[in-house]
Amino acid sequence: MAARRAPILVRVTKPPKRMTPNTALAVAATAVTAIAVGVVVVVTPSGGGDAPTAASTGLSISTVVGDSGNPANSATDSGSGTGAATSATSGSSSTDGSATSSGGSASGSAAQSPASSSAPAGHPTTKPTSLPTPPSTSTGAHTPGTGLDDPRKKETAMELVSSAENSSLDWRAQYKYIEDIHDGRGYTGGIIGFCSGTGDMLEVVQRYTALEPGNVLAKYLNALKADNGSATHNGLDPNFKKDWATAAADPKFQQAQNDERDAEYFTPAVSQAKADGLGALGQFIYYDAMVMHGPGSDPLSFGGIRAAALRKAKAPSQGGDEGTYLNAFLDARIVAMKADPSHQDTSRVDTEQRVFVKANNFDLDTPLHWSVYGDSYTIS
């Protein structure tokens, strides 16, 4: 299993209405502290799978979602788009051509316990409340080129997110990943960390059951409904994790995960980014924020982050500069991250996304070089 270090907690923040009561109170209290005092008490947390068959690499959104006409949904999840993707720290290739980082292969090191008080190696235990915004070197208006509805660009975005979520570019190796990372959201599993306590893991299994009635996970539907909104595993233990890993070998279960990702996170993010006049980089930045913070309009969700950015800068669709607006969005996102004790490490913004903004790479053209949580990556 790929090393799942503390930053994998980033995915699981959903809109507060879908959090457990204790989690919501804790996050809200931290946010109030950040706003009223201007200082966030930093709590640094510490701290999967076989490659799919060729039959699993396509999306069929119309089967479940009924949205096959949307270009972003109809893009295939093929591994052939971006060419060779390599990690500067490893260079070992996976079966689909994407590389894994050090400790990021499917058979890599054991997961680090989230209960540990130590930070990941090389990571500071505290960070400043806010970071200075790099000046934009953008000149004039940028006309967006090919967006993430292009299969090659979409593959690049999947690998970028996976580097932060899984410490690996091989996002397809994560279909069978599942564990309780003790963040109050029950089990976390799959390609972007669907959670039993926030509803999207239930939706994945519902999609899978629509595609394959009587599958190995269908018997858990009632338990997943009951556990939604809590950290409990009632009705899931002791075999749910084993059955999830078994289902991961089924192309229809892989499709169900792909479909849930696209319907709930990828497509809404790309659509909003296009409406705001953003190119492929901005579309990826929106998608990564949607994966981490969840959709919604509260201050700690994607909609609230975007609203805060728009109070500071105009989007390109409003005549604003693309680099200036994206830096304002990333500033607002860091504030939201710092308000959640599980999101204190902001390197996926600082040493990944800001690097691309500073380079004016608004079309997310390769080659790309970045680092996340101390590991370096390259997509050629």
pLDDT 10s digits, 143-160:
766 899 999 999 999 999
d(CA 10, CA 77): 23
Instruction: Please give the pLDDT value at position 342.
Output: 79
How does residue 252 score in pLDDT terms, banded at 50, 70 and 90? very high
Q: Is residue 1 in some structural domain?
A: no
Q: Is 68 within the bounds of a domain?
A: yes
pLDDT of 54:
35
pLDDT one-digit tens code per residue, 167-195: 999 999 999 999 998 888 899 999 999 99
Of 73 and 220, the structure prediction assigns the larger pLDDT to 220
pLDDT of res. 184: 87
Ranking 37-51, 216-230, 328-342 by mean pLDDT, the lowest is 37-51
Reply yes or no on whether 159 is catalytic. no
Alpha helices (H) in the chain, listed in sequence order: 21-37, 61-64, 71-74, 151-166, 200-211, 221-227, 240-247, 251-261, 267-275, 280-293, 302-312, 322-338, 347-348, 354-358
Catalytic residue, candidates 165, 212, 321, 340: 165
Rounded percentage of the chain residues whose pLDDT exceeds 70: 62
Q: Output the pLDDT for position 102.
A: 34
Query: Is 103 inside a domain boundary?
Result: yes
CA 356 to chain centre: 18
How open is the CA angle 6-104-97, to the nearest 5 degrees?
140
Q: Answer yes or no: is pLDDT of 255 > 70.
A: yes
Give residue for tokens 């292969």: 105
Is there a catalytic annotation at residue 183? yes
Helix (H, G, I), strand (E, B) or coil at 328: helix
Question: Total domain count for the chain?
Answer: 1
Estimate the crossing angle of helix 322-338 against helix 280-293, to 10 degrees.
10
The DSSP line for 98-145 is BBB-TT-STT-PPPPPTT--SPPTT--S---SS-PPPPP---S-----
pTM, full prediction: 0.67
Q: Is residue 173 part of a domain?
A: yes
Q: What is the pLDDT of residue 315?
A: 98
The single residue of 96, 183, 262, 345 carrying the catalytic annotation is 183
Which range has the worst mean pLDDT, 28-37, 100-109, 139-148?
100-109
Predicted local confidence at residue 287, as pLDDT:
98
Query: How high is the pLDDT of residue 294?
Result: 92
Closest among 220, 295, 298, 223 to 261, alpha carbons compared: 295
| Structural domain containing residue 66 | 6-379
Mean pLDDT of 277-282: 98
| Percentage with pLDDT > 90 across the chain | 59
Q: What per-residue confidence (pLDDT) applies to 25?
A: 45
Span 336-347, mean pLDDT? 92
Q: What is the CATH number of the domain that holds 176?
A: 1.20.141.10
Q: Is residue 342 a part of any domain in this protein?
A: yes
Provide the residue type at 254 as one letter: Q
pLDDT of 286-305, one tens digit each? 999 999 999 999 999 999 99
Averaged pLDDT for residues 227-246: 97
